[in-house]
Amino acid sequence: MKKLKTTLAALMIMSSSTIFADGHQLKVGMITTLSGGGSGLGIDVRDGFMLAVKGNQNISVIIKDDQRKPDIAVQLADKMIQSDKVDVLTGIIWSNLAMAVVPAAVNQGKFYLSPNAGPSKLAGKGCHKNYFNVAWQNDNLHEAAGGYANSAGFKNTFILAPNYPAGKDALTGYKRFFKGKLAGEIYTKLGQKDYAAEIAQIRASGADSVFFFLPGGMGIGFMKQFSQSGINVPVVGPAFSFDQGILKAVGDAALGVKNTSQWSKDIDNPANKKFVSDFQSEYGRLPSLYASQGYDTGKLLISAMINAKVDDKDKFRDELRKANFASTRGKFSFDKNHHPIQDIYVREVIKEGKTLTNKIVSVGLKDHSNVYVSECKM
Amino acid sequence: MTSILFIEQLLNGIQFGTMLFLMSAGLTLIFGVMGLINLAHGSFYMIGAFCAALVAGITGSFWLALGASLCGAAIAGVLIEILIIRRLYRRDHLDQVLATFALILLLSEGVRWYFGAFPLYLSIPDSLNGTVPIFSEIIYSKYRLFIILMGFLIAVGLYLLITKTRLGIRIRAGQNDREMISALGVDISKLYTVVFALGAALAGLSGAMIGAIQSVEVGMGEPILILAFVVIVIGGIGSIKGAFVGSILVGVTDTLGRVFLPDLLKIFMQPAEATAIGSSIGSMLIYILMALILITKPSGLFGKS
């Protein structure tokens, strides 16, 4: 009996080593936010990615926490590139961290697949052949919100966002599509949680609608306080303040709010159905858009590995560019600057039993790309 | 129109100030009485909010949740004082900063490990939802009025505690001369525990009250902690009166500056520039205020020179 066990074990070791020899071994370095404020986003991206590559023996993943600090993200990237010798980097949530890490990494010949941040600089003049964004360009969801505001007949919108690059991208994106007047435009402090002063200004401005981009905890405070203020005008925003991780904390204040997203759990395709049910059984919670982005990043990587080895950089890059995988979003392809062409949906916050979640009400922008393509010389 | 907006913003500033007072009162007491720089004070704010969210989730009662935030933060304060802080009184400030900074990391990750990384739900009771008219034309949030009221009540309570009670006399004596009061037979270590727990409880209460209209999440206390330090430096370290005046000053300056500076700049600037520059200067305003006060009064408004 004992002999049998030993033989079996030896066989297993041998067979797995054959896989190692024949398979396309690939090392992924994931730098994402796993502690402190905003860690919910990083955890979702990580869980989505790990679900996608689960059971794939050709991929090994090193995961490190950037604590939402650019200097730490840079250190981690250096270590992963120099001593861990990773082939592909991914994971960064925040645009300011991406700006600190991505240019150096891709210039050292590493691939970077962004599961979230899509700053305009990396889409336009700073685009790079080894940089792929699997989520969106930063402006995209806000552009769709502007388009939705037109179709909803809003004429006089009050807009606000935090005073940092992604906040400015957001308001620019909204204004690019919105045809009405602005009742007011405010940049709030990054990390601000109390919006009494801004809400008083909204009340005084006589706006017929409000657009806001306040990701993470900032949006929770705003929605609660806005619903308590008794101002009765519709609110629109990008999905970041209405994703699955946050809705529970906002509570019923979010009910009925329209928000724009490239993903929703009710997009009707087999890949998405499988993702939603697998994610729930693996982690015991509903996935968010961040989780779907992590998952798609993993699936994209696997699709490129089928026909190319990562050492053959040109071939691997071509395979990535094909985006030959079943995205949870359905139709998905890369534009010339390696940013997605995809549909952006308008969703509404609803209640399913006791759980707050989103359902799609319409397609906001069909096959939408980004305005920075022409600036990218690749 | 503008005068209505102005009064509403003034109220917002005062509300922000009273909440800052709850944080900075504890911080300044702990520093004044024990000479301890407690960076982990923001963690009690977080603990209070999480205790409240937990109890509100189970019982559905906001008032029980407020009670839980007070008790939870006070108990955490007592435990942490006895286990860790007690060893730091005789050390120099750098050691205290290092140790209490470590406490922030431990408590934040501990809370994240137990409750998860996603924000929790905590909302205000229905009786305080909505707005209430003040002087016919101005409508103001009931809950924010409630925060202002609680802040003033606690300020009065603290004033009475410090000036009229035996505990208050001991606290003041402790601020003046630590060796002397222990020589006179006062159990100084018990006094320290009580003061520390009191400070923690106030921080916890403000965490719960603010958590209900903002968000209950890991790391929520640190931004407030920085402002609380600004307040006690402006008010004079160790002075409750200073903390109160400093809090209201910071709250009002921050709110009014943020709102009216962009409008003011629009008079002689392009609107887009005015918005961008105005909001940038607006967020610096309290630090400018602090610098100005420190230039004229180096030990703060009510500090002992």
Residue B45 lies in a domain: yes
Beta carbons within 8 Å of A255's beta carbon, 6+ residues apart: A349, A350, A351, A356
Q: Could you read off the pLDDT of A100-138 as tens digits, one per residue? A: 999 999 999 999 999 999 998 999 999 999 999 999 999
Q: What are A236's strand-pairing partners?
A: A211, A258
In A, which residues are within 8 Å of B214 by CB distance? Answer: 193-194, 217, 220-221, 224-225
CB B303 within 8 A of CB B235: yes
Looking at residue B304, what is its pLDDT?
74
Q: Could you read off the pLDDT of A8-24 as tens digits, one per residue? A: 555 444 444 434 434 45
Q: CB-based contact (8 Å) between A54 and chain B? A: no
Looking at residue A4, what is its pLDDT?
54
Q: How far is B119 from chain A, CA to nearest CA, in Å?
A: 6
Partner residue facing B213 (CB), from A39, A187, A225: A225
Q: CB-based contact (8 Å) between B285 and chain A? A: no
Partner residue facing B117 (CB), from A43, A230, A250: A43
> In order along chain B (305 residues), what is the average pLDDT of each group of 10 residues?
83 94 93 89 96 94 95 96 91 92 93 85 87 82 93 94 90 83 86 93 95 88 92 90 94 91 83 78 90 92 79
Residue B303 lies in a domain: no
Q: CB-based contact (8 Å) between B42 and chain A? A: no
Which of A194, A242, A243, A290 is the best residue to mutate to test the B interface, defined by the most B CB atoms within 10 Å of its own CB?
A194
Give the 3-state secondary structure of chain A.
Answer: CHHHHHHHHHHHHHHHHHHHHHCCCEEEEEEECCCCCCHHHHHHHHHHHHHHHCCCCCEEEEEEECCCCHHHHHHHHHHHHHCCCCCEEECCCCHHHHHHHHHHHHHCCCEEEECCCCCHHHHCCCCCCCEEECCCCCCHHHHHHHHHHHHCCCCEEEEEEECCHHHHHHHHHHHHHCCCEEEEEEEECCCCCCCHHHHHHHHHHCCCEEEECCCCHHHHHHHHHHHHCCCCCCEEEEHHHCCHHHHHHHHHHHCCCEEEECCCCCCCCHHHHHHHHHHHHHHCCCCCHHHHHHHHHHHHHHHHHHHCCCCCHHHHHHHHHHCCCCECCECCEECCCCCEEEEEEEEEEEEECCEEEEEEEEEEEEEECCCCHHHCCC
Q: CB-based contact (8 Å) between B4 and chain A? A: yes
Looking at residue A107, what is its pLDDT?
94
Residue B286 lies in a domain: no
Token pair belonging to B66: 């407020």
Q: What are A333's strand-pairing partners?
A: A341
Residue B299 lies in a domain: no
Beta carbons within 8 Å of B44's beta carbon, 6+ residues apart: B26, B73, B76, B77, B199, B200, B201, B203, B204, B207, B221
Q: CB-based contact (8 Å) between A215 and chain B? A: no
pLDDT in tens, chain A (378 residues): 555 555 555 544 444 443 443 445 899 999 999 877 678 899 999 999 999 999 899 999 999 999 889 999 999 999 999 999 999 999 999 988 999 999 999 999 999 999 999 998 999 999 999 999 999 999 999 999 999 999 999 999 999 998 877 888 899 999 999 999 999 998 888 788 889 999 999 998 999 999 999 987 788 889 989 988 888 899 999 999 898 888 888 888 899 999 999 999 999 999 999 999 999 999 999 999 999 999 999 999 999 999 899 999 999 999 999 999 999 999 999 999 999 999 999 999 999 988 999 999 999 999 999 999 999 988
Strands A111-114 and A88-90: parallel
* Structural domain containing residue B201: 2-221
User: Would you give the end-to-end CA distance of chain A in angstroms?
Assistant: 63
Q: How far is A274 from chain B, CA to nearest CA, in Å?
A: 24
Q: CB-based contact (8 Å) between A228 and chain B? A: yes
Contact A249 B216 (CB under 8 A): yes
Residue B204 lies in a domain: yes
Measured between alpha carbons, how far is A221 from A216 in angstroms, rounded to an integer?
10
Cα-based angle B79, B83, B88 (whole degrees, multiple of 5): 120
Contact A200 B5 (CB under 8 A): yes
Measured between alpha carbons, how far is A218 from A212 in angstroms, rounded to an integer?
10
Partner residue facing A229 (CB), from B123, B141, B258: B141
Q: CB-based contact (8 Å) between A223 and chain B? A: no
Measured between alpha carbons, how far is B244 from B21 in angstroms, rounded to an integer?
6
Measured between alpha carbons, how far is A259 from A246 in angstroms, rounded to an integer?
13
Measured between alpha carbons, how far is A170 from A173 in angstroms, rounded to an integer?
5
Contact A40 B124 (CB under 8 A): no
Phi, psi angles (nearest 5°) of residue B175: -65, -35
Looking at residue A37, what is its pLDDT?
66
Contact A196 B121 (CB under 8 A): no
CB B255 within 8 A of CB B148: no
Measured between alpha carbons, how far is B151 from B300 in angstroms, rounded to an integer?
22
Looking at residue B305, what is its pLDDT?
60
Measured between alpha carbons, how far is B3 from A73 in angstroms, rounded to an integer?
48
CB B140 within 8 A of CB B134: yes
Token pair belonging to B242: 């200073």
Among residues A242, A200, A236, the alpha carbon closest in space to that of A218 is found at: A242
Contact A228 B120 (CB under 8 A): no
* ipTM metric: 0.79
Contact B275 A185 (CB under 8 A): yes
Contact B279 A224 (CB under 8 A): no
Partner residue facing B218 (CB), from A36, A163, A253: A36
Identify the structural domains of chain A with CATH numbers, from first to last: 2-136+267-334 (3.40.50.2300), 140-261+344-375 (3.40.50.2300)
Looking at residue A135, what is its pLDDT?
95
In B, which residues are within 8 Å of A194 by CB distance? Answer: 16, 210, 213-214
Residue B262 lies in a domain: no
- List all residues of chain B from 97 to 116 with a beta carbon under 8 Å from chain A: 108-109, 112
Residue B171 lies in a domain: yes
Residue B214 lies in a domain: yes
Residue B270 burial by CB count (10 A; 0-12/13-18/19+): exposed, middle or buried?
Answer: exposed
Q: How far is B112 from chain A, CA to nearest CA, in Å?
A: 8
Q: How many CB pairs below 8 A link A and B?
A: 114
Contact B118 A245 (CB under 8 A): yes
Number of domains in chain B: 1
Q: How far is A21 from chain B, CA to nearest CA, in Å?
A: 39
Q: CB-based contact (8 Å) between B56 and chain A? A: no
